[in-house]
Chain A
Amino acid sequence: MGGDSKYLGLAYVAPYALGLLLFTAFPFLSSLYLSFTDYDLLSSPEWVGLDNYERLFTRDRTFDKSLRVTLTYVAMTVPLKLVFALFIAVVLNYRLKGINLFRTAYYVPSILGGSIAIAVLWRYIFAGDGLMNMILMAVGIEPINWFGDPENALFTITLLRLWQFGSAMVIFLAALQSVDKSLYEAAAIDGAGPWQMFRNITLPLITPVIFFNLIMQTVHAFQEFNGPYIITQGGPLKSTYLLPLYIYDEAFKDFDMGYASAISWVLFAIIMVLTLLAFWSSKKWVYYAGDERN
């Protein structure tokens, strides 16, 4: 606003700036420092150089396993969730009565899904004699050892997160609804079929939200904690021992703060590299309508 001191705005954003320094910037840099130390909370941090990282990458088989589990989990969960969310959004984006009812039903799990209560429910649903196997047996299918079997356990957690596709779907749906309808009419006159319209009109126009959902879901998936902590405690045979669980155990059970920080930084580096890669590649596939700033 004209006439005001140019520092007035700064006064309004001051809480954020202060919080950023105290609760983000300082911890961010400290954890980098801590990752080069040995720190057990009893004595002050002791500088050990690259020891933690060396141990992580050459001697720590738990890390090796945990990293592989994490990457598998993310590679499995994110694409499945995005494809499913987009598919349902496309089905919903139609002149249907009751669209709001469906949207709500699909969205409820997203609101509740992160909670411990739902993770508890999941244990009951996928237990050996749980709901899922009762249904399978009722239709004559052999029951499946869901989270007791290392082959299936991780997928059981993926299913939990898939069940929460609602928030990604709502975002897709909003984008689909803002696509200019006259484009479809023009395409229909030219004789384009539904798949061609989806492929050549819808998909390019919603790439910005695909990109947004992709990044958000990936960052989220890498930090999954509640699901495996409650449902499987990382087992069986560490088959669901995601990196955040390993970090939690190292930091708050063994109080090995230095080593835990080193694992956090590896996890952070992976997320950052993938995010940057996504941003870099986005120039090639993300389409911003009427965006002259690019």
Chain B
Amino acid sequence: MTSLSDPTPQTPVVETMPAKSPARLSPQELKLRRRARLNASIRYSLLIVVGFIMVYPLLWLIGASFKTNAEMFASPWFWPENPTIQGYIDGWTTSTPYTFATFFINSMQIVIPKVIGTAISATLVAYGFARFHFPGKRILFAILIATLLLPDVVTRIPQYLLFRELGWLDTYLPMIVPAWFAWEAFFVFMLIQFMRSIPREMEEAARVDGANTFQVLIYIVVPMLLPALVSVMLFQFMWTMNDFLGPLIYISTVEKYPISLALKLSIDATEAFNWNSILAMTVLALTPSLVVFFLAQKSFIEGISTGGTKG
């Protein structure tokens, strides 16, 4: 996988249309322009149709969460005829002795330490790989790349046994601790790629002035790394919010459930009759991710483009 280690920075390609006045266009060029306009309208129509299909399920979800149960399956149109917030009232109180707030706080207790741990450990490790030579580097880097492809399914059972041995079952530690060891190779890899594109002159100058490597990391590399670091944290936030199997295996007390498990529990308890409260809970469960996404969508798209195109 040679291209994975390609250090070239990504340069956005800027579209350049030669600015010509219409008078100087040849008939050939005029024909091309006409064709381009037609082309554009076909593209727009297609994109709008697909965009509608992509967004409508979410639109319907939000609309339907304000519908009454009687109206729920009466019409495919998303707009509620008799809007009610009963679904949100029932959904917030949930079918358990705890409110949705408890589950939200629980999720944050997993997400926040995990995101911070990932950011710190992945930065240190990426710095080690991107800026130093050390014995065994090639092998370790090859393993890092290989683990990008290693399916979790093959390590899950012994991990469970390990954490059980440590007495960590029914705590958040099994989900948090590995993140502090840069366990998700994807994030390390993303930061290495980014670091390779940062020029080293400033770091070298700081070294000449007597800074040690750690000071260089903190005062010079990290500030420049910030955009990539933000993407890493955003992705980890989303993935952790979406994680279901981890909590399902490790958390057994309802009081400690994160949002994903609480939602599953509610479906089992009330799905047969209380549709709008399930949908309202679904909206509540998606809200943190949606808010974070819309606040930082640029970082997401850039993150996935840099993480991916190098491969």
Contacts and interface: CB of A to CB of B under 8 A. Distances in A.
Contacts of B54: 105-106, 108-109, 163, 166
Contacts of A226: 244-245
Contact of A212 (B43, B181, B207, B311): B311
Chain B binding surface, main DSSP class: helix
A12 B124 contact: yes
B244 A88 contact: no
Contacts, number: 291
Given A111-B293, A178-B10, A124 B131 contact: no
Interface in A88-124: 88, 91-92, 94-96, 102-109, 111-112, 114-118, 120-121, 123-124
Q: Residue among B152, B153, B245, B283 with the most chain A CB within 10 A?
A: B153
A16 interface: yes
A229 B248 CA distance: 11
Interface residues of B, number: 102
A115 B158 contact: no
Interface size class of A (residues with CB under 8 A): 35 or more
B157 A91 contact: no
A174 B305 contact: yes
A174 B241 CA distance: 27
B153 A267 contact: yes
B278 interface: yes
B66 interface: no
A217 B189 CA distance: 18
Chain A binding surface, main DSSP class: helix
A243 B300 CA distance: 31
Interface stretch (A24-32, A49-57, A60-68, A72-80): A24-32
A121 B128 contact: no
Contacts of B204: 1
B55 interface: yes
A1 B202 CA distance: 13
A201 interface: no
B286 interface: yes
Given A31-B158, A134-B75, A163-B57, 15 more contacts: A8-B134, A9-B137, A15-B121, A15-B182, A20-B147, A88-B50, A94-B43, A95-B36, A115-B285, A167-B308, A209-B311, A216-B311, A229-B244, A264-B156, A288-B2
The 3 closest A-B pairs by CB, nearest first: A19-B181, A9-B132, A12-B128
